[in-house]
C-alpha cells in the first residue's frame, strides 16, 4: 500500500483524538475515583494539574527528543505511552499500595504521550503541501473536539449498558486508538518543518520578541479559558447541579465539545474569509457571558447551557493563536511550536487549578458564593475567577492588532 499525505492527515486527526482521550476520559471518572478510592476533591484537583504539569515538562524536553530520534520515532513513542496509560489506568490503582499514586502513574504515561503529540501534530500539518494553513489548522483542532464528544458519548453508553463498575474495561478499550495509530505513523510520509535553505528562529530571538511573548500569554489564556470549564464540567453537573451522571455528561462536557468542534469546523471551512483577531475577540466576550451563566444562573438547565456555550466561545482560541503565530513566524519550527504548546499547557494547568483552589477552600468552610453545598459553592466561585482568562484574551487581541509583525 502506498501511503500519501492524506494518510498523514488521517494519522494527525487520530493523534488529536488520542489527545482528547488523554484530557477528557479521567474527568468522567473523577466522582468514581472519589467514591471508590476515597480520593478527596483536593487530590482530584492535583490529578488534573499533574496531568498538565507533566505535559509541560514534556513540552520543554520535546525539541531535544525530536532532534535526537526524529519526528517519526517520537510520534510512535508518544502513541505507545498513551496506549500504556489508558490500559493501566484501571490496573495501577489496584496493584499499588496507594490508589492515588496508581492514578498518577497512569497519568504520567498519558501525559508523556499527550505532550509529545501536542507539540508535533500542528507543525506536521503546517509542513504539508497546500494553502489555507489557518483553515487546515482549525480543522485539525476540531478533531480534538470530535474526540472529546466520542469519549463522552461512547463512555456514557458503556456506563449505561455495562455499568460504571466496569470502568476498568473501558479505559483499556480506549487504548486501541493510539495502539493502531502508532503503526500508521510508522508508515506515512512526513515533510521537514522548515523550508530548505532556511533555519529555525533561535530561542533567544523568540524570547526577545515582545510579539512572541504576547502570543505565549494568549496561548496560556486560551488553554485556561477552555480547560477551566471542560475539566470540571462533569463534576459540576453531578455535584453542583444535582443532575444524573448521564444527563450531566451529555448536556455538560458533551455539548461543550460539540459546539467547540463546530466552531473549529466552521473556521476550517470558511477560515479564508474570516479575520482571526476580531473573531477571537468576540469569542472571548462570549466566553465571559457563558461563565456568568454557569456561575449565577439559579436554574441547572441554564448553567448547563452556559457550559455548552463556553465550548462554542473557546473553539477558535487555541488553533487561532497557533495560526497567528505560524503566520508571524514562518521559520518558527519545532521549537516555536513546543514553546506555544508549553504556554498552552501552563494555561490548561492554571485554569482548572484555579477552580480547584476554590473547591478546596469551600471544602474547608471558606465560601464566597453561597450555594446548596461546598462543592457547588467552590465550583461556582472558581469559575467566576476563571473569567479573568478570556478577559486577558480580549486585551491581548487589542495589543496584538497594534504590535508590529516580526519576521
Residue 237 located in a structural domain: yes
Predicted pLDDT at 272? 65
Show the domain range for 135.
5-190+199-400
Q: Which residue has the cell 521537514?
A: 192
Residues 234/30, Cβ–Cβ less than 8 Å = yes
Whether residue 407 lies inside any domain: the answer is no
* pLDDT tens track for 326-341: 777 766 666 787 788 8
In a domain, 396, yes or no: yes
pLDDT band at 354 (very low <50, low <70, confident <90, very high): confident
Once rounded to an integer, what is the mean pLDDT over residues 282-286? 95
- Rounded distance between C-alpha atoms, residue 394 and residue 280, angstroms: 8
The CATH number that applies at residue 85 is 1.20.1250.20
- DSSP-derived letter for residue 106 is H
Query: pTM here?
Result: 0.74
Indicate whether 148 belongs to any domain: yes
How far apart, in whole angstroms, are the C-alpha atoms of residue 123 and residue 140?
Answer: 11
Cα–Cα distance measured from residue 34 to residue 31, given in angstroms and rounded to the nearest whole number:
5
Contact 317, 280 (CB under 8 A): yes
Report yes or no on 405 lying in a domain: no
Residue 406 within a domain: no
Has residue 212 been placed in a domain? Answer: yes
pLDDT digits (tens, 9 = 90+) for 223-246: 999 888 877 776 667 665 666 767
Domain total for the chain? Answer: 1
Amino acid at each position: 500500500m502506498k501511503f500519501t499525505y492524506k494518510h498523514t492527515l488521517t494519522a494527525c486527526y487520530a493523534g488529536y483524538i488520542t489527545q482528547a482521550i488523554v484530557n477528557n476520559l479521567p474527568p468522567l471518572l473523577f466522582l468514581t475515583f472519589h467514591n471508590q478510592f476515597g480520593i478527596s476533591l483536593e487530590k482530584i484537583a492535583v490529578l488534573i494539574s499533574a496531568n498538565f504539569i507533566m505535559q509541560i515538562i514534556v513540552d520543554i524536553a520535546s525539541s531535544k527528543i525530536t532532534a535526537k530520534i526524529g519526528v517519526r520515532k517520537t510520534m510512535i513513542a508518544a502513541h505507545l505511552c498513551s496506549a500504556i496509560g489508558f490500559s493501566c489506568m484501571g490496573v495501577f490503582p489496584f496493584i499499588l499500595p496507594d490508589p492515588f499514586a496508581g492514578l498518577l502513574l497512569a497519568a504520567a504515561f498519558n501525559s508523556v504521550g499527550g505532550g509529545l503529540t501536542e507539540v508535533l501534530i500542528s507543525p506536521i500539518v503546517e509542513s504539508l503541501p497546500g494553502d489555507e494553513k489557518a483553515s487546515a489548522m482549525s480543522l485539525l483542532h476540531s478533531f480534538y473536539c470530535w474526540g472529546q464528544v466520542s469519549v463522552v458519548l461512547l463512555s456514557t453508553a458503556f456506563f449505561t449498558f455495562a455499568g460504571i463498575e466496569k470502568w476498568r474495561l473501558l479505559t483499556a478499550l480506549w487504548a486501541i486508538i493510539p495502539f493502531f495509530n502508532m503503526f500508521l505513523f510508522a508508515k506515512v510520509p512526513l515533510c521537514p518543518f522548515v523550508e530548505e535553505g532556511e533555519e529555525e528562529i533561535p530561542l533567544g530571538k523568540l524570547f526577545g520578541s515582545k510579539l512572541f511573548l504576547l502570543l505565549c500569554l494568549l496561548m496560556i489564556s486560551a488553554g485556561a479559558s477552555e480547560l477551566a470549564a471542560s475539566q470540571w464540567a462533569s463534576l459540576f453537573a453531578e455535584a453542583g447541579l444535582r443532575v444524573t451522571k448521564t444527563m450531566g455528561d451529555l448536556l455538560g462536557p458533551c455539548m461543550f465539545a460539540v459546539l467547540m468542534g463546530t466552531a473549529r469546523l466552521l473556521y476550517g471551512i470558511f477560515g479564508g474569509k474570516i479575520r482571526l483577531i476580531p473573531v477571537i475577540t468576540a469569542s472571548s466576550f462570549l466566553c465571559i457571558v457563558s461563565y456568568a451563566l454557569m456561575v449565577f444562573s439559579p436554574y441547572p438547565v441554564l448553567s448547563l447551557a452556559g457550559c455548552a456555550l463556553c465550548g462554542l466561545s473557546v473553539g477558535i482560541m487555541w488553533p487561532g493563536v497557533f495560526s497567528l503565530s505560524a503566520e508571524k513566524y514562518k521559520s518558527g519550527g519545532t521549537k516555536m511550536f513546543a514553546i506555544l504548546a508549553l504556554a498552552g499547557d501552563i494555561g490548561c494547568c492554571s485554569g482548572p487549578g484555579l477552580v480547584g483552589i476554590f473547591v478546596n477552600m469551600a471544602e474547608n468552610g471558606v465560601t464566597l458564593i453561597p450555594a446548596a453545598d461546598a462543592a457547588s459553592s467552590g465550583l461556582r466561585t472558581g469559575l467566576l475567577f476563571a473569567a479573568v482568562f478570556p478577559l486577558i484574551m480580549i486585551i491581548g487581541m487589542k495589543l496584538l492588532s497594534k504590535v508590529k509583525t516580526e519576521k
